[in-house]
């Protein structure tokens, strides 16, 4: 069982009437709302929170890539990852991931990820993502090529890491006469690969086939999350093996305070800033991004998406966030982890407008009073060797 602190790096200073005045927090949300002087403080604070995660015993830190968004103003996770590579000593740095089709040519991912892996001494977890719906909108890239490009870029990246260069690549989307990235990764044959999906059948099958780790979409009702994880495990079976728990992860907002009551009193408005403002107008599926069947399936599940949730009771019932006293959160999380059968918990300890002091208190209480209990009940973290033995890295 491994525990990560995941950070969205949201922009937390939107006007109070944001949701009345603006359609969306994505793609077209006017960047005149951004204050770079305040941003200076915010980025440094968020980095401090991730560095603090190492001090208090987390196994890793996670960041992701978002463009033209206040949900996460984090267009380059590799810049943040390289800072973390230098400023931490022990934790895994999970960049989940780079939106491969947007790196042109995608050998840039092979290069930048290798740099972070080398700087950090082999602590990178390399997330590969096909880019979210909003990214295709933000960059006007045709989403009907998303899967095709992702597949080619992924193959190329892994090949660039495992096959001695220079070599030629003549694919459908990229034609490269000299593939020969310097540096090559510290971890051999290459860093562990996580595929974060939007829960289409296509993505789970790809991750299963290649024995990568799979992270389902967050913010859905627990029954939908479970179904997706089962879909992934089924795909592993179909490929002739049983999924290792290390191959799955669960991303969830967590808030721990002294009592249940206090936790909700401190947390609720910050969580609802996230729900009402930051999830507003999220275009999950541009046309052609997934198969019509996958889009239809998730389109129906969107009714049970955190962005459409109105009450605290619904949040408790659906497991959209783990909130409460240390006792409550540890019992809840133990049940959820066992039910989901996941080996990685990616906790969002800062959300929406949650301020620095409460974020720190939350992380500290979790690290001191929840994490040790869950480790005891659910197992110590797997070693690198166990993980690489379990996953046939190809």
Partner 1 sequence: MNSVTESKFIDVRGKRTQITIGGAGPVLLYLHSAGGEVEWTRFHEMLAQYFTVYLPAHPGFGDSRGLENIHSITDYAWHYVDLLDVLGLETVPIVGFSLGGWTGMELAILRPERISKMLLVNTAGIRIPEAPMGELFSDDIEKLKSLLFYDPNSPVIEEAMPLSFEDNRILMWLKAREATARVGWNPYLHNPRLPDHLFRIPCPVRILWGNDDQLLPVATGKFLVDALPNATLEIFEKTGHMLPYEQAERFVEEVRKFLSD
Query: Where along the sequence are the contacts to partner 1 (CB under 8 A)?
Result: 136-137, 140-144, 283-288, 292-293, 295-296, 299-300, 302
Question: Shortest distance, CB of residue 284 to partner 1, whole angstroms?
Answer: 7
DSSP symbol at 350: S
Residues listed for the chain? 394
Compare residues 265 and 300 and give the one whose CB is closer to partner 1.
300
Rounded least distance, CB 149 to partner 1, Å: 13
Task: Report, in Å, the least distance between residue 99 CB and partner 1.
Answer: 17
**Closest CB to partner 1 among residues 24, 228:** 24
Comparing CB distances to partner 1, the nearer of 150 and 285 is: 285
Note whether 246 and 360 are within 8 A (CB).
no
User: CA–CA separation, 306 vs 275, rounded Å?
Assistant: 7
State in angstroms the smallest separation of the CB of 296 from partner 1: 5
Question: Which neighbouring-strand residues pair with 213?
Answer: 194
Closest contact distance (angstroms) between CB of 98 and partner 1 is 22
Minimum distance of partner 1 from residue 71's CB (angstroms): 17
Smallest distance, partner 1 to C-beta of residue 105, A:
19
Nearer to partner 1, 76 or 148 (CB): 148
Tokens describing residue 327: 């006792």
- Kindly tell me which of 127 and 281 has the beta carbon lying closer to partner 1: 281
Q: Which is nearer to partner 1, 147 or 226 (CB)?
A: 147
* C-alpha to C-alpha distance for 11 and 131, rounded to whole angstroms: 20
Nearer to partner 1, 146 or 342 (CB): 146
> CA-to-CA distance for 356 and 350, rounded, in angstroms?
8
- The closest alpha carbon to 198, from 175, 224, 220, 216, belongs to 216
Q: What is the CA radius of gyration of the chain?
A: 20
Distance of closest approach, residue 308 Cβ to partner 1, in angstroms: 12
Which are the contacts of 124, defined by CB distance < 8 A and separation ≥ 6? Answer: 81, 85, 92, 93, 94, 95, 113, 116, 117, 185, 186, 187, 191
Strand residues in the chain grouped as ranges (E):
2-7, 60-63, 92-99, 124-129, 167-170, 175-179, 193-196, 213-215, 248-256, 322-324, 344-348
Cβ within 8 Å of residue 391, ≥6 positions away: 192, 211, 212, 213, 244, 246, 247
Q: Residue 96: in which H helix or E strand, if any?
A: strand 92-99
Nearer to partner 1 among residue 58 and residue 289 (C-beta): 289
């Amino acid at each position: 069982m491994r525990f990560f602190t995941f950070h969205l790096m949201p922009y937390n200073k939107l006007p109070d009437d944001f949701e009345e005045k603006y359609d969306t927090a994505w793609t077209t949300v006017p960047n005149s709302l951004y204050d770079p002087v305040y941003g200076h403080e915010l980025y440094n604070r968020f980095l401090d929170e991730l560095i603090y995660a190492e001090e208090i015993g987390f196994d890793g830190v996670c960041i992701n890539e978002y463009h033209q968004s206040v949900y996460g103003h984090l267009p380059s996770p590799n810049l943040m990852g390289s800072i973390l590579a230098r400023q931490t000593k022990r934790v895994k740095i999970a960049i989940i991931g780079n939106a491969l089709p947007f790196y042109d040519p995608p050998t840039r991912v092979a290069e930048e990820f290798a740099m972070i892996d080398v700087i950090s001494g082999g602590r990178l977890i390399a997330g590969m993502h096909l880019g979210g719906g909003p990214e295709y909108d933000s960059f006007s890239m045709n989403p009907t090529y998303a899967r095709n490009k992702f597949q080619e870029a992924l193959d190329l990246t892994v090949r660039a890491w495992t096959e001695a260069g220079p070599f030629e690549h003549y694919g459908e989307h990229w034609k490269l006469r000299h593939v020969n990235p310097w540096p090559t990764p510290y971890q051999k044959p290459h860093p562990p690969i996580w595929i974060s999906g939007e829960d289409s059948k296509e993505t789970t099958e790809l991750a299963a086939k290649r024995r990568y780790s799979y992270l389902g979409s967050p913010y859905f009702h627990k029954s939908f999350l479970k179904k997706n994880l089962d879909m992934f495990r089924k795909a592993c079976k179909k490929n002739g093996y049983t999924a290792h728990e290390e191959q799955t992860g669960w991303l969830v907002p967590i808030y721990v305070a002294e009592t249940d009551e206090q936790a909700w009193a401190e947390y609720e408005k910050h969580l609802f800033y996230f729900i009402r403002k930051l999830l507003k107008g999220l275009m999950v599926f541009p046309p052609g991004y997934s198969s019509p069947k996958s889009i239809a399936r998730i389109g129906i599940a969107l009714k049970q998406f955190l962005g459409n949730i109105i009450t605290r009771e619904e949040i408790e019932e659906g497991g959209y966030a783990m909130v409460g006293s240390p006792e409550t959160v540890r019992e809840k999380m133990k049940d959820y982890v066992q039910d989901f059968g996941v080996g990685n918990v990616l906790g969002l300890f800062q959300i929406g407008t949650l301020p620095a002091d409460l974020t720190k208190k939350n992380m500290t209480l979790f690290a001191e009073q929840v994490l040790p209990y869950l480790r005891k009940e659910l197992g110590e973290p797997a070693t690198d060797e166990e993980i690489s033995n379990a996953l046939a890295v190809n």
